[in-house]
């Protein structure tokens, strides 16, 4: 591939990523947003957007696929299968907050997953988080009387709530991770007989 061809390919990839990122951000907050609004947010023209995605359905499907991949990639980088469970859980929260717009897009409006769902593709992520919870329960860190699936759902709900609070201005964006971790650890970690939580390292 020539230098010119590589440069053009790089531009196309950046433009496509910009459109998908804008689509997730806009649709997460207003699923009825128009393609024109998405094009404006991506700083491209309508003609350019249609060159990459011929219609709204194609754009949303691509945004769903891209979001699932982004979430899986961020979670993989957190290496939640390694290290003490509590530290791994903290890395997981940070990883989820990092791809917050993608989470809000996928789970903010039921029509997204109902119509363009990737339930089978989501299974590995669900399994890895559930495995982390079980490992924490086995090591006496997380409450063994709570279902691992329940803990996983609670965790996701808290992350989503933190993102919403930041979106509304009630919580600074940089404070989401610490707030979610504090809430999670106060409610899900297994406490000692005297009521104190297990020792943790600083955030």
Each residue of 167-178: pLDDT tens digit?
999 999 999 999
Angstrom distance (rounded) from CA 25 to CA 145: 37
| Inter-CA distances, 106 with 82, 112, 115, Å | 27, 6, 11
Q: Is the pTM of this model over 0.75?
A: yes
The third-level CATH classification (topology) of the domain covering 1-54 is: Arc Repressor Mutant, subunit A (1.10.10)
pLDDT of residue 30: 92
Q: Among the listed ranges 6-10, 119-123, 145-149, which one has the minimum average pLDDT value? A: 119-123
Residues 20-42 have a mean pLDDT of 94
Please enumerate in sequence order all residues whose Cβ is within 8 A of that of 28, keeping only pairs 6 or more positions apart, or say none.
101, 104, 105, 108
Task: Report the 10 Å Cβ neighbour count for 156.
Answer: 15
Token pair of 71, please?
């979430």
pLDDT of residue 202: 46
Return residue ranges of the chain for CATH 1.10.357.10: 64-203
pLDDT, tens digit, 9 for 90 and up, residues 106-126:
888 887 877 776 544 455 678
Q: Which CATH number is 64-203 given?
A: 1.10.357.10
Kindly calculate the radius of gyration of the chain based on its CA atoms and give it in whole angstroms. 19
pLDDT of residue 3: 62
Q: How many helices (H) and strands (E) does the chain have?
A: 10, 0
Return residue ranges of the chain for CATH 1.10.10: 1-54
Residue 200's pLDDT band (cuts 50, 70, 90): low
Task: Report the 10 Å Cβ neighbour count for 28.
Answer: 24
């Amino acid at each position: 591939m020539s230098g010119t061809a590589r440069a053009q390919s790089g531009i196309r990839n950046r433009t496509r990523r910009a459109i998908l990122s804008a689509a997730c951000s806009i649709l997460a907050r207003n699923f009825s947003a128009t393609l024109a609004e998405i094009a404006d947010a991506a700083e491209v023209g309508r003609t350019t957007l249609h060159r990459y995605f011929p219609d709204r359905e194609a754009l949303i499907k691509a945004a769903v696929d891209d979001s699932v991949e982004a979430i899986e990639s961020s979670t993989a980088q957190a290496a939640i299968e390694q290290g003490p469970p509590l530290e791994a859980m903290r890395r997981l929260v940070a990883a989820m907050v990092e791809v917050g717009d993608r989470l809000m897009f996928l789970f903010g409006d039921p029509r997204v997953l109902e119509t363009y769902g990737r339930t089978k593709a989501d299974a590995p992520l669900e399994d890895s988080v559930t495995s982390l919870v079980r490992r924490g329960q086995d090591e006496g860190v997380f409450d063994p009387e709570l279902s691992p699936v329940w803990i996983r759902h609670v965790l996701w709900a808290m992350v989503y709530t933190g993102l919403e609070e930041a979106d509304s201005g009630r919580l600074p964006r940089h404070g989401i991770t610490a707030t979610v971790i504090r809430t999670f650890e106060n409610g899900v970690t297994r406490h000692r007989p005297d009521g104190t939580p297990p020792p943790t390292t600083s955030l």
